[in-house]
Structure 1
Amino acid sequence: MNLMKWKTSAAAVTLALLLAGCQSDDTEPQEDAAPQTEQADENTGQPAQEESSENDASQDPHSMHSSSGEVPEGLKEAENPKFPVDSTAMMHADHMPGMNGVEATISGAFETTAYSVTYTPTDGGEPVKDHKWVIHEELENPGEAPLEPGTEVTLAADHMPGMNGATATIDSAEQTTVYMVDFVPSDSDEEVKNHKWVTEDELSEE
């Protein structure tokens, strides 16, 4: 009887060890699976890609050059512009990609002084050189027009991020008719609305 009890006890111990081994084999892969899943998420970075896509869309250079069409207070409409409102003209300017050589529809024509300026954006961006164009009415307390090249001014325009409130230096001045235009860039299907500004010598009849 003692021998039988010993065999039974030994069998029970062996069975217990086997069961413990099976549980260990079953649980170890499960513990490994969690880090693998987390690693896959880190590698795919799907949330980051979605956020990046949204940011890319919001920073489309074409959309940044569209505007509401509002003009500064005191800006005078041109009485007899060469290119009347709602007429079309060919553009010969490269203020932004896809602009040169495309047809534009005139949405506004105004008499003013247009300046090319160099400035450092208020949002920490790189300095912008020879930006065309900012008009006299888009400067803070500018005094009499035209301002001389080298004059330091404060911008009150929002054509680009970080532009409004930035300190700028006048590069050149041109008393002219400036136009606000609608056009479809040659490198995009998205229409730019009320782009500010194109000068008269940057337009030609079709």
Structure 2
Amino acid sequence: MKFKKLLIGSILLLAIFTLAACAGNNDEPSQNEDADTETEQSADEANGDQSTESESDSMEGMDHSSSGEVPAELASAESPTYPIGSEAVMNAQHMKGMDGAVATIEGAYSTTVYSVTYTPTTGGEKVEDHKWVIHEEIENAEEEPYQSGDEVVLNADHMKGMDGAEAVIESAEDTTVYMVTYTDVQTGDEVTNHKWVTESELSPVK
């Protein structure tokens, strides 16, 4: 009788130890899963922060708005397609939030417009194919328009480090350029007296 009781007691103890061991094994993966989840969340948050910072850095130094002042020698367009006070849709991607925005024309001027590549005077990476700089924003500009490959010095402050920077002309076009005010389609912020948008980058409001 005593032998049976001992045998039953031994079996119960063995069962208890077995259940406890199984419970312990089940807990460990759960803890590891929690740790893995926290690690993944931290990595995602870090990547998100880096992405936001990168986007912000790419636009740093760009003056969306301006005072509206233009070079004294800049000639107003006689019969612009989009007169001052009219509206037009922008088809340009110089900056985020511009493409598709409805712009109000603040000024229309006849000039030569250039895309340029330059190294900012404030340091940093070279700015490739910046749009746009007009002929009157080139230091000691010659009377004749510049050609692709010509080297010039910029006299414009659209971006930090632009004024006084040495630049290479990438393209040149005689056209009407416009100064515009519009609402950024991404942020909802108003951009006033933005320089510049070319005539080919505008279309009628439907």
Q: Does the alignment reach a TM-score above 0.5?
A: yes
Question: Which amino acid counterpart does residue 107 of structure 1 have in structure 2?
Answer: E
Question: Which amino acid counterpart does residue 121 of structure 1 have in structure 2?
Answer: P
Bigger CA drift: 166-175 or 118-127? Answer: 118-127
Q: For 1:121 and 1:60, locate their aligned partners in 2 and report how far apart those are by CA, in whole Å.
A: 14
Q: State the partner residue of 1:147.
A: 146
Distance 1:198-1:154 versus aligned 2 partners, 3 A rule: same
| 1:1-150 superposed matches below 5 A | 64-150=63-149
Shift of 1:125: 2.3
Identity %: 60
Distance 1:150-1:108 versus aligned 2 partners, 3 A rule: same
Q: For 2:161 and 2:62, locate their aligned partners in 1 and report how far apart those are by CA, in whole Å.
A: 15
Contact 1:180 1:197 (C-alpha < 8 Å) held by counterparts: yes
Q: State the partner residue of 2:183.
A: 184
Q: For 1:154 and 1:65, locate their aligned partners in 2 and report how far apart those are by CA, in whole Å.
A: 22
Q: For 2:88 and 2:200, locate their aligned partners in 1 and report how far apart those are by CA, in whole Å.
A: 11
Shift of 1:146: 1.7
Shift of 1:150: 0.5
Query: Tell me, what secondary structure is at the counterpart of 1:64?
Result: coil
Q: For 2:90 and 2:102, locate their aligned partners in 1 and report how far apart those are by CA, in whole Å.
A: 6
Deviations 1:23-68 (CA, angstroms, capped at 9, x unpaired): xxxxxxxxxxxxxxxxxxxxxxxxxxxxxxxxxx9x9759722100
Normalising by the residue count of structure 2, what TM-score does the alignment of the two structures yield? 0.69
Asked if residue 199 in structure 1 is aligned to residue 166 in structure 2, the reply is no
Q: Which runs of 4+ in 1 moved over 3 A?
A: 59-63
Q: For 2:148 and 2:65, locate their aligned partners in 1 and report how far apart those are by CA, in whole Å.
A: 28
Q: Is there any run of 5+ residues in structure 1 with no aligned partner, and where?
A: 1-56
Deviations 1:57-80 (CA, angstroms, capped at 9, x unpaired): 9x9759722100000120000111
Distance 1:173-1:74 versus aligned 2 partners, 3 A rule: same
Q: State the partner residue of 2:162.
A: 163
Q: For 2:152 and 2:73, locate their aligned partners in 1 and report how far apart those are by CA, in whole Å.
A: 18
Q: For 2:190 and 2:133, locate their aligned partners in 1 and report how far apart those are by CA, in whole Å.
A: 22
Contact 2:90 2:203 (C-alpha < 8 Å) held by counterparts: yes
Distance 1:129-1:62 versus aligned 2 partners, 3 A rule: closer
Q: For 1:194 and 1:128, locate their aligned partners in 2 and report how far apart those are by CA, in whole Å.
A: 23
